[in-house]
A and B are shown apart, each in its own frame.
Chain A
Amino acid sequence: MKIGKPERMIINGKRLDGRGLYDLRPIKMRVGVLKNADGSSYLEWGGNKILCAVHGPRELHPKHLAKPDKAMLRCIYSMATFSVKERKKPGPDRRSIELSKVIREALENVIFLHLFPQTVIDVYIKVLQSDGGTRCASIVAASLALADAGIPMKDLVSACAAGKVDGEIVLDLFEIEDNYGEADLPVAIVPKTGEIVLLQMDGNLTKDEFKKALDLAISGAMKVYELQKKTLYERYGERYETER
């Protein structure tokens, strides 16, 4: 048994932060928050604070890496040193390299990269404060920033995690549940087509639990998708209406 584990994480159907089993944490989104970036977003998801900037499409250096038939997508996920309890050593660690890879692969699915051959699109994700579920929050922030940069995509990517805590399947785990829970299942989807573009799991689930958690995570991601659309509409809706 790990020291520091709360005795119970679900009491009378309520979780330690007061949520019900299937509730999302409060989410706030903004786009166009950084002046120098071609597109940017800021996301608060519970205790997570994430800033994302998109640069490009732009010329790729070194040139020999450029692809003749499509743009290259580079994605860097990194955590601020003060974003976690014990200071994180700056620079990429193995976890952030893996996360950068899976986030990039999820985004590659929706961007029309073939429209910008020989170029690169850079996505920089900075986790300023972390509270569990940063990979899902990062994908949500990144796809908002890509939309803010005006990069053509077939859809936004939306994401949410589900998991198992105290024997119950719950939505959107926060840090304590993530650390001491029984399973964590982050899922990213392309809402329009229902495709799953990111799927990871660690922990322990039976077949029925897995099915339930997968459905729950997808339904959570659909809720986040509505918020993403609302955020973009609030920023650009008026302009869109008048230009039409």
Chain B
Amino acid sequence: MSYRRKLCMRDMVNVMKPKDEILANLKRNFILDILKKGKRVDGRKFYEYRSIEVQQGVIKKAEGSALVKIGETEVLAGVKLSIGSPYPDTPNEGALIINTELIPLASVAFEPGPPDENSIELSRVVDRALREGEVLDLEGLCITEGEKVWLVYVDIYTLNYDGNLIDACCLAAVSALMDARFPKLEDDKIIYEEKTSKRLPIKNYPLEVTYAKIGEHIVLDPCYEEEEIMDARITFGIKQDDTICAIQKGGRGSFKPDEILNLYEDAVEKAKFLRSFLNI
């Protein structure tokens, strides 16, 4: 942890001097030096997650919820259900609406106001894995074909930012969907106070695994300091049958094709590891 404390002191200097390009470079060199020794700023191995905690049912008013911690990164996902009409091209399917937001309480780097490109990217990448990975059987959300279907809203809030929000948000979303129960339905009206024991029709368990590239080094689950200075980032969405359902590369750096194929193989194992926290 001493490495991280040193970086913290650099952060204080950072606040005093708004032109932080030079300091960012210093930080980068500092982290690169540690990586060259085969270590990371928080003492982890390159392909190792921080400690993970998943807690379901933390919000009683929600139909389902989950609090996920990866190291100091903390996100909260909640599921709310309502009834609506289906899309015209899918009359017998319900809808899954996922939104993720970077809120200012999570970090000094996040500002209030309309979502910026980072927030939008995060939201869309999490949505992509769950949608393309078909986390829910949408036909199982149909009440009357062409008229009434369940709309499932998953909203994810970042509570504390310490890097790798993508993996945390995706894990929280799947966990909250697993926790969710249908509320009671009476004459097509929802009685939110009374939950039934019926679960959502979960079809797949897609989870996202993110790596950061710093110089020539690739590390799993980047923490804040690593994310701040990384060259590139790659996220894989992996389902329980080891197939891939989403990818997003970010950052101005690049990956070689071999690196991507190797990381894909590692991501399959890491997704299995993440799934163990969902007890599946």
- Interface on A for B, CB 8 Å cutoff? 2-4, 67-69, 94-95, 97-98, 100-102, 105, 108-109, 185, 190, 193-207, 210-211, 214-215, 218
**Interface class of chain A by DSSP:** mixed
Cβ of B252 and Cβ of A199 under 8 Å apart?
Answer: no
Which 4 residue pairs are nearest across A and B when measured between Cβ atoms?
Answer: A195-B254, A201-B247, A108-B252, A199-B249
Shortest Cβ distance from residue B116 to the other chain A in the assembled complex, whole angstroms = 8
Cβ of B248 and Cβ of A200 under 8 Å apart?
Answer: yes
Task: List the count of A-B residue pairs having beta carbons below 8 Å apart.
Answer: 101
Q: With A196-B257, A211-B261 given, is the CB distance from A94 to B124 under 8 Å?
A: yes
Q: Which one of B7-15, B50-58, B87-95, B187-195 is at the A interface?
A: B87-95
Q: Is B250 an interface residue (CB 8 A)?
A: yes
Cβ of A68 and Cβ of B21 under 8 Å apart?
Answer: yes
Shortest Cβ distance from residue B273 to the other chain A in the assembled complex, whole angstroms = 18
Q: 15 A-B contacts, Cβ less than 8 Å apart?
A: A2-B89, A68-B21, A69-B21, A69-B22, A97-B120, A102-B249, A108-B252, A193-B254, A200-B249, A202-B245, A203-B245, A204-B245, A206-B242, A207-B265, A214-B257
Cβ of B244 and Cβ of A3 under 8 Å apart?
Answer: no
Shortest Cβ distance from residue A33 to the other chain B in the assembled complex, whole angstroms = 28
Cβ of B117 and Cβ of A109 under 8 Å apart?
Answer: no
Q: With A3-B91, A206-B243 given, is the CB distance from A196 to B120 under 8 Å?
A: no
Shortest Cβ distance from residue A225 to the other chain B in the assembled complex, whole angstroms = 16
CA of A202 to CA of B127, assembled, Å: 10
Residue from A2, A67, A97, A199 within 8 A of B260 (CB atoms): A199
Q: Is B234 an interface residue (CB 8 A)?
A: yes
Q: Residue on B with the closest CB to A190?
A: B254
Q: Which residues of chain A are near B243, meaning CB under 8 Å?
A: 204-207
Cβ of A195 and Cβ of B89 under 8 Å apart?
Answer: no
- Beyond A102-B249, A199-B247: 13 further Cβ-contacts under 8 Å? A3-B91, A67-B21, A94-B123, A105-B252, A193-B254, A195-B254, A196-B257, A197-B249, A199-B255, A204-B132, A204-B239, A204-B245, A207-B244
Q: Is B184 an interface residue (CB 8 A)?
A: no
Cβ of A194 and Cβ of B245 under 8 Å apart?
Answer: no
Task: Place the interface of chain B in its size category.
Answer: 35 or more
Cβ of A94 and Cβ of B120 under 8 Å apart?
Answer: yes
Q: Is B37 an interface residue (CB 8 A)?
A: no
Q: With A3-B90, A94-B120, A98-B124 given, is the CB distance from A202 to B246 under 8 Å?
A: yes
Q: Which residues of chain A are near B256, meaning CB under 8 Å?
A: 194-196
Shortest Cβ distance from residue B117 to the other chain A in the assembled complex, whole angstroms = 5
Cβ of A202 and Cβ of B128 under 8 Å apart?
Answer: yes
Shortest Cβ distance from residue B54 to the other chain A in the assembled complex, whole angstroms = 25
Shortest Cβ distance from residue A68 to the other chain B in the assembled complex, whole angstroms = 6
Q: Which residues of chain A are near B91, meaning CB under 8 Å?
A: 3
Cβ of B246 and Cβ of A97 under 8 Å apart?
Answer: no
Cβ of A210 and Cβ of B234 under 8 Å apart?
Answer: no
CA of A147 to CA of B256, assembled, Å: 24
Cβ of A198 and Cβ of B132 under 8 Å apart?
Answer: no
Q: Which residues of chain B are near A109, meaning CB under 8 Å?
A: 252-254
Shortest Cβ distance from residue B156 to the other chain A in the assembled complex, whole angstroms = 15
Q: Which residues of chain A are near B38, meaning CB under 8 Å?
A: none
Q: Residue on B with the closest CB to A182?
A: B132
Cβ of A185 and Cβ of B247 under 8 Å apart?
Answer: yes
Q: Residue on A with the closest CB to B254?
A: A195
Residue from A69, A98, A205 within 8 A of B117 (CB atoms): A98
Q: Which residues of chain A are near B251, meaning CB under 8 Å?
A: 105
CA of A202 to CA of B247, assembled, Å: 7
Q: Residue on B with the closest CB to A111?
A: B252
Q: Which residues of chain B are near A198, meaning CB under 8 Å?
A: 249
Q: Which residues of chain A are near B89, meaning CB under 8 Å?
A: 2-4
CA of A185 to CA of B260, assembled, Å: 13
Residue from A2, A68, A69, A204 within 8 A of B90 (CB atoms): A2
Q: Residue on A with the closest CB to B129?
A: A202
Shortest Cβ distance from residue B139 to the other chain A in the assembled complex, whole angstroms = 10
CA of A74 to CA of B121, assembled, Å: 17
Q: Which residues of chain B are near A215, meaning CB under 8 Å?
A: 257
Cβ of A194 and Cβ of B257 under 8 Å apart?
Answer: yes
Cβ of A210 and Cβ of B244 under 8 Å apart?
Answer: yes
Q: Which residues of chain B are near A95, meaning CB under 8 Å?
A: 124
Q: Residue on A with the closest CB to B133?
A: A204
Q: Which residues of chain B are near A207, meaning CB under 8 Å?
A: 242-244, 264-265, 268
Q: Is B60 an interface residue (CB 8 A)?
A: no
